[in-house]
Amino acid sequence: MGKLCGSAGSRHPALHRIGETAYNAPAAHPTHAGMGSKTPRKEPALSAVPPFIHAAPETHAPAVSSPAKALGTPRLSVVIVNYRQWDKTEELVRHLQDSAAMRCGDAEIVIVDNHSPPHPIVKRLRRLPNVSLRCWPSNRGFAQAVNEGCRLSEGDWFLLLNPDTTPSEEFLDGVMTMLNRLEANAGIVGFHLRNSDGSRQLSAGPFPTLLSTLARIVLPRNRRKYHALRTQERCRVAWVTGCCLLVRRECLCDLGGLDEDFFLYYEDVDLCRRAQERGWSVWYDPNLNVVHHHPLHQRAIPAVLRMVTRHSLMTYAAKHWPGWQFRVLTRIVQVETSLRRLRAWWEGDGQDAKLLATLADICRDLRRKDNVMARQRIEEAIRHRDVRIGV
């Protein structure tokens, strides 16, 4: 899992060189000691977490419970993970810059690129105010990229946004207003999503089990992970999708960030589950709207993306299901993989057959609890393939 909360001394006030990008690091972040009362944790939160997101120095006044912030320090950090979607990322950034929060410096944008091909948009983004950009030399997956974006951020809250999202005009300013009303133990908030045609897109669901995973196969793809909430009011839920997710800095520090064993998908489900296990609450707020243009259930699933989604589901099962259920799942995936591999060979698609053979190897890796090898196989398989980040 990524390193998250470091000591105050780890924040260097000078200019940081991040890959090809110059990043102006603001002054040290205010302390979270003034958060107020909150549900007790099972253990001390920050001291047990490896350094990644900068911890709050004791020399600054509390600021999270009040909208007042140190001059020049944003309260909200928007983290965008880009992979071969520069046009959409630029459109999203310019849309967000129209908000009052961005204009007055209450919000910042941090972009982490997972080794996209060179593009002229990069130079334009670097010239924009309150926008920082980190370009990686390889695709390290969504969870690692989010953790890196949060490490480079200064806000008390992180807003994760997919490049293929379009927030409503009042969204960012509405989020800033909402921060003042949230309960002290509110750690994660999800929002109302819509499809490009304006129809509702489900964005919250129950925690998956072996039985529910198998039973939901017969449902339409947009209902397999999610369920329709019957209320139109803000409510607590099990988990919310990571394509548009608000998370408190202290909560993410407490959890050690997104679990980097996940390459793509299910890291949001895992994050919400771990948050609730440590006393944080997860909320769904339907009052703020975001259009998500290309959700997974509306796209074809090539073999490489199927490999990624199966890896993530099995990784989640290994962490949260009884051992026998995890083993049953891996056997089912292996049978599915064998059948699909035979079909690929029959149709003369050697590339898909090779990817499916890799998925069979990943099943064996995970049963041996070798998460590192499973991740390496994923990264090698997608090195030269276009697997778009999308939830």
Amino acid at 243: C
Q: What percent of the chain has pLDDT over 70?
A: 78
pLDDT digits (tens, 9 = 90+) for 108-122: 999 999 999 999 999
User: Confidence band (pLDDT; 50, 70, 90) for 222?
Assistant: low
Q: How far apart are CA 61 and CA 254, in angstroms?
A: 20
Find tokens 């073999």 and name the residue. 303
Burial (CB count within 10 angstroms: exposed 0-12, middle 13-18, buried 19+), residue 127: exposed
What fold, for 8-297?
Spore Coat Polysaccharide Biosynthesis Protein SpsA; Chain A (3.90.550)
Q: What is the mean pLDDT of the chain?
A: 83
Number of alpha carbons in the 13 Å side-chain half-sphere of residue 364: 8
| The Cα angle at residue 139 between residues 79 and 263, in degrees rounded to 5 | 75
pLDDT digits (tens, 9 = 90+) for 13-41: 322 323 333 333 333 333 333 333 344 33
pLDDT digits (tens, 9 = 90+) for 163-207: 999 999 999 999 999 999 999 999 999 999 999 999 998 889 999
User: Confidence band (pLDDT; 50, 70, 90) for 66?
Assistant: very low
End-to-end CA distance of the chain: 20
Q: Where are the domains of the chain?
A: 8-297, 300-381
More confident residue, 318 or 389: 318
More confident residue, 138 or 34: 138
Q: How far apart are CA 220 and CA 226, in angstroms?
A: 11
Q: How far apart are CA 360 and CA 335, in angstroms?
A: 9
Backbone angles phi, psi at 237, to 5 degrees: -135, 170
pLDDT digits (tens, 9 = 90+) for 325-340: 999 999 999 999 999 9
pLDDT score of 10 more than 70: no
Find tokens 């890291």 and name the residue. 267
pLDDT score of 248 more than 90: yes
Query: Which 3-state string (H, E, C) describes the chain?
Result: CCCCCECHHHCCCCEEEECCEEEECCCCCCCCCCCCCCCCCCCCCCCCCCCCCECCCCCCCCCCCCCCCCCCCCCEEEEEEECCCHHHHHHHHHHHCCCHHHHCCCEEEEEEECCCCCCCHHHHHHCCCCEEEEECCCCCCHHHHHHHHHHCCCCCEEEEECCCEEECCCHHHHHHHHHCCCCCCEEEEEEEEECCCCCEECCEECCCCHHHHHHHHHCCHHHCCCCCCCCCCCEECCEECCCEEEEEHHHHHHHCCCCCCCCCCCHHHHHHHHHHHCCCEEEEEEEEEEEECCCHHHCCCCHHHHHHHHHHHHHHHHHHCCHHHHHHHHHHHHHHHHHHHHHHHHCCCHHHHHHHHHHHHHHHHHHCCCHHHHHHHHHHHCCCCCCCCCC
Q: What is the mean pLDDT of residues 262-276?
A: 98
**Distances 209 to 195, 221, 222, 227, 332 between C-alpha atoms, Å:** 27, 17, 17, 14, 14
User: Confidence band (pLDDT; 50, 70, 90) for 228?
Assistant: confident
pLDDT for the residue numbered 223 = 67
pLDDT for the residue numbered 295 = 82
Q: What is the mean pLDDT of residues 118-145?
A: 95
Number of alpha carbons in the 13 Å side-chain half-sphere of residue 341: 16
pLDDT score of 389 more than 80: no
pTM of the predicted model as reported, rounded to 2 decimal places = 0.82
pLDDT for the residue numbered 387 = 53
pLDDT score of 234 more than 70: yes
Closest by CA to 12, choosing from 115, 127, 151, 163, is 151
pLDDT digits (tens, 9 = 90+) for 343-370: 999 999 999 999 999 999 999 999 999 9
Give the range with max mean pLDDT: 3-12, 67-76, 253-262: 253-262
